[in-house]
Amino acid sequence: MKNTLHPLKFQPILKEKIWGGEKLIQQFNRKSNSKQLGESWEVSTVPGDISKVVNGHLKGQSLQEILEAYKADLIGHKNYKRFGNDFPLLIKFIDAKQDLSIQLHPDDDLAKERHNSFGKTEMWYVMQADKDANLIVGFNQDMDRDTYLKHLEEKTLPKILNFDKVKEGDTYFIEAGRVHAIGAGVLLAEIQQTSDVTYRVYDWDRVDDEGNARDLHNDIAIDAFKFNMKDDFRVDYEKQKNASNKMVSCPFFTTNFIDIDSEIEKTNTKDSFLIYMCVDGEVELSTETTSDVISKGETILVPADIKDFKLRTKGAKLLEVYV
């Protein structure tokens, strides 16, 4: 059993959202009739939304089942010691046709205490953005609890938020406790801790087809805020060809950018699984015994005990993720 793991592709878990659109269907060939497809969960062990394998001899098994059976062979010894049978990451693609709500997420301590969950630190890589599309990250001025609450009460919260116009390739690191929102017209890849805990603080006063507003969580969100965090959320990174270029490295994940146009041999020395998200083009990932292709909008997980493999393409861009 120890030698039977292979790179894993999963069935996307599709999520309709009030703010979703059709880019995931049009650009990534997701199978849905929805006009409001907001999210495609690529790698997940969130209860009720657990990824299932679609390739190889493990086809049909869930990521949770595989983790419990293979343990450190799947995620690495240090990760298994740290996380046990809890897979640490949730990987998504997101299409915002409308603005998402203004929100933030609790850190590990608060999420554990309140929700028996990991916290949610995350990052975004913009894959496509309509003209003048924005991301909201942080405040546009020094901020404290009382000033924030005054603007919240007076419904002038957007006045104190930081809006950034974005384009393809822009990357943001969103620590737990930082206010943020994805703006209308942005298609992005999201890498985050395994958590589905979101504190929604403002939703643009919108209502659904039946006139109902979505729930807000201001009573509990205020304790999760980390005011006056440094404005270090914009990520600058190298783009050297056919190499792993460091984007984000934090206690919860590391993400590299790979712009590849040939064949490169990879050796995994991280004692961790590797996840590849294809954000442009198409690439073949091959081991001694397997070969899989991922195209733009697809994801593959390479188990920790697969040490040597090749990436081959005439042109692709990848996000390489590990813990």
The one-character DSSP state at 154 is: T
Q: Is 210 annotated as a binding residue?
A: no
Nearest to 6 by CA among 53, 68, 76: 53
Residue 263 annotated as part of some ligand binding site: no
List, by residue number, the catalytic residues: 200
Whether 15 and 41 have beta carbons less than 8 Å apart is answered as yes
Query: For 97, how many CA atoms within 13 A lie in the half-sphere containing its CB?
Result: 16
Q: Please state, as a whole number, how many other Cβ atoms lie within 10 Å of the Cβ of residue 310.
A: 15
Q: How far is the C-alpha of 183 from the C-alpha of 7, rounded, in Å?
A: 34
> In this structure, are residues 135 and 124 in contact, taking their beta carbons and an 8 Å threshold?
yes
What would the 3-class secondary structure string for 76-87 be? CHHHHHHHCCCC
Q: Is 122 flagged in the annotation as binding?
A: yes
Which spans in 96-213 are helix H? 108-115, 145-153
For residue 38 the two structure tokens come to 């907001």
Q: Which amino acid is at 198?
A: T
Residue stretches of the annotated binding site:
105, 122, 180
Residue stretches of the annotated binding site for Zn(2+):
105, 122, 180
